[in-house]
Chains A and B, each alone.
Chain A
Amino acid sequence: MISRRRLLILAGASAAAAFAGVSPIAGSPEGTSKDPNVPRWAMLVDVDKCTECVKELIKKTGDPHVKPPCVVACDEFNNVPEFEDKKKDPQWMRIAKFSLDKESVEPEEFYMPLLCNHCEHPACAQVCPTKATFQRPDGIVMIDTHRCIGCRYCMIACPYGARSFNFEDPRKGLRHINPEVPTRSRGVVEKCTFCVQIVDEAMERGEAPEPACVKACRLYSKNALVFGNVKDPNSEISKLMRTGYVIQLRPGVGTDPYVFYKFIKERP
């Protein structure tokens, strides 16, 4: 039931929003910051290096479901639980194989990591009824799990399947807990945060942030992932983006994702 007072508040708020010129387009009304001093975080994936790593790992272990260092590091740092039942198992970073089905040609398959794209116009924030999902000025899309009502509308809306729902208490699926990252409870949605704790700490110290997956890929694998500020034309990510053919996933839906995939294959 709605009280007269609440009705007035809602009506007033809607009118105020209309006057303030709130854009009906996705995302937080303000969008990401236009201030050149505020970074815009993004990730660049070198698909060729990533494919090389996963293929080698599968060959070495014989396990087609192997988790590469990036996924392991993500799970460990972010307290992402592991459950037997794949249907209920939350996953922030996933590796997927892509192939173009042309039997006569058999083009080479490639592997790419899938994660939250921290879109410029996030569909999840657009549909969230409580604004539990929101976009920071630096582009990172976050979930306030205390505000999340667990309606899962965001999971339906996200074009990239980046979100997981906690059907179970995630703490039951953890072997050890990283105290740096808060654990979540049953009944809310969670996803990749670009390791926001690492980002914020690095910024405070004035260093370049390196999320857990990027670090693991650099230390233990092919250095296929690069994280950085795309507003700065001299950042490593900006320089590397100029050296290849860069695509976004599903650009047609207009969410403008900020995880980019670079396609360059070394000539033999």
Chain B
Amino acid sequence: MAIEFKKINGDSPGYFAIVLVFAAVVAIGAISYLANHFGNAPDDMSQRVPWGIVNGAIPYYIGLSAGSLILSALAGVFNIKKYKVFSRMAAFLAIAWIVVAILSIVMDIGKPLHLGGATLYFNLTSIFSWNAFLYSSYFVVCAIYLIAMFEDKQTATRILAGVAVFWAVMVHSGTGAIYGYIYSRELYHSVLLPPLFIVCATSSGLGLLMATIYLTFKYTGRKLDPDLVRSLSKVFLGLILILAYFLVDEMFEKGYMPGLQRAIHFVFLDPSQSIFWCFWLLLIVGIGLPAFIVVYPRTGRDLRWLSIGGIIHAAMIYAERFYLIVPGEVFPREYLPGYTMTSLNTLEGSIVSYTPTPIEWAQVIGLFAVGYLIFLIGLKVFAILPEEATEEVIEE
């Protein structure tokens, strides 16, 4: 039996209701953005913490995109036929998330009207400059790959899947390099960040994909073979364990350096800091709990539990972005290493708190809703959902 992809009718009250809900969240996000950038709605960013959670949205959504695409395309590259049912859906989600990621760049920068400059003036030494090229070309690669699938071009799809995986790895390594190559901040500077970003991307992308698959099939009344999602969850388990390994390795490596002792205490051992909770909750709730859900037979067989595990992990990856971006800014840099510094007129030299305001959260959540709004409309406009998804798929 060949896979049949079909559009959904999208005329039920339920469909319109959920579209309206997401549209409302998008509207709140948009209003928050306008109030923040053009009005006086407060954010908690500062001269010491110039990158907040809206900036964190950029790697987060690029991660979801790269993760989705890698998973969609791996089925093509390695010819894993049973996952082909999800290929279109995952590729479409990848496009939705890259749109959201580019939108989050627009929302994060101070002069969105100057953004054209990033395409006109190319700085060879700026990773951001390279990424402007990578992100926009990545969108095109995703789109061509999806079109090839729509047209049922088998060979083209397979080749494009390979190109897409390569591009996604480039795009997300580039994103990791934005942070990891910052040699002036000890807590940023890490060779591990690009690969860690790839793992994060695939794990969070897959986590969210499992939940999206389950919920979409359920609410469109389509047949879904639970074993398909279960086998995805095994891949998911492997990825989150690799992520935990990376995080712990990084923690010990930084902790080994006496010069970083104060910073390490601040990040990992001080419960009065939000960073502490970000890290440990990520490890325990974001990785430990989903791993348990997958491994424990009663929950591991239940698609509802697996979806919850996937959502928890994807949500906690946001804490990972916070843990990654914020401590390196909040913890003071030493201009004269080893000396205690107190600034007379600025907050330099001291730990500067950063607590994201509701205005900032509304923007991040609004961006998330944009992704799902695109997906919901996509379900209606494009044939991305299979009629049914079962293990026994026979190629035409």
Contacts and interface: CB of A to CB of B under 8 A. Distances in A.
B125 A24 contact: yes
B118 A97 contact: no
A152 interface: yes
A161 B336 contact: no
B78 interface: no
B24 interface: no
A153 B139 CA distance: 23
A91 B46 CA distance: 12
Contacts of B335: 96, 114, 159-161, 249-250
Contacts of A89: 47, 345-346
Interface in A63-78: 64-67, 71
Interface string A50-74: 0000100000000011110001000
A148 B345 contact: no
A94 B50 CA distance: 18
B347 A128 contact: no
Contacts of A22: 124
B111 A150 contact: yes
Contact of B184 (A25, A64, A123, A166): A123
B128 A151 contact: yes
Nearest to A185: B111
A96 B341 contact: yes
Interface stretch (A2-10, A36-44, A206-214, A222-230): A2-10
Contact of B341 (A97, A189, A253): A97
A98 B110 contact: no
B308 interface: no
A181 interface: no
A159 B188 CA distance: 12
Contacts of A164: 47
B156 interface: no
Given A87-B46, A91-B346, A188-B110, A26 B125 contact: yes
B185 A156 contact: yes
Contacts of B185: 156
A130 B123 contact: yes
Nearest to A22: B124
A10 B349 contact: no
Contacts of B79: none
A17 B125 CA distance: 11
A152 B348 contact: no
Contacts of B114: 130, 146-150
A131 B343 contact: no
A122 to B, nearest CB: 11
B344 A65 contact: yes
Interface stretch (B62-70, B130-138, B224-232): B130-138
Contacts of B109: 149-152, 187
A88 B137 contact: no
A187 to B, nearest CB: 3
A86 B348 CA distance: 10
B44 to A, nearest CB: 8
B117 A159 contact: no
A interface SS class = loop
B348 A94 contact: yes
A155 B117 contact: no
B344 A95 contact: yes
A2 B329 contact: no
A264 to B, nearest CB: 17
Contact of A159 (B125, B126, B333, B339): B333
B140 A67 contact: no
Contact of A126 (B51, B125, B333, B347): B125
Interface string A1-39: 110001100100110010000101111010000000000
Nearest to A257: B335
B45 interface: yes
Interface string A88-117: 111100111111110000000000001000
Nearest to A4: B140
A158 B127 CA distance: 15
B339 A88 contact: no
Contacts of B184: 123, 157-159, 250, 253
A94 B182 contact: no
Given A148-B114, A161-B348, A156 B329 contact: yes
Interface string B242-264: 00000000000000000000000
B286 to A, nearest CB: 25
A2 B47 contact: no
A168 to B, nearest CB: 9
Interface string A191-211: 000000000000000000000
B166 interface: no
Interface in A212-249: 249
Contacts of B105: 151
Nearest to A65: B344
B341 A127 contact: no
A195 B334 CA distance: 26
A100 B340 contact: yes
Nearest to A167: B45
A151 B125 contact: no
Nearest to A114: B335
A132 interface: yes
Interface in A116-143: 123, 126-132
7 contacts: A2-B137, A86-B346, A129-B126, A130-B118, A148-B110, A149-B117, A156-B188
Interface of B: 37, 44-48, 50-51, 55, 105, 108-112, 114-115, 117-129, 132-133, 136-137, 139-140, 178, 182-185, 188, 329, 333-349, 352
Listed from nearest, the 4 A-B pairs whose CB atoms lie closest are A150-B110, A187-B110, A87-B46, A159-B184
Given A131-B123, A187-B37, 7 more contacts: A87-B47, A91-B47, A129-B129, A151-B109, A156-B188, A158-B184, A186-B110
Interface of A: 1-2, 6-7, 10, 13-14, 17, 22, 24-27, 29, 54, 64-67, 71, 86-91, 94-101, 114, 123, 126-132, 146-153, 155-161, 164-167, 186-189, 249-250, 252-253
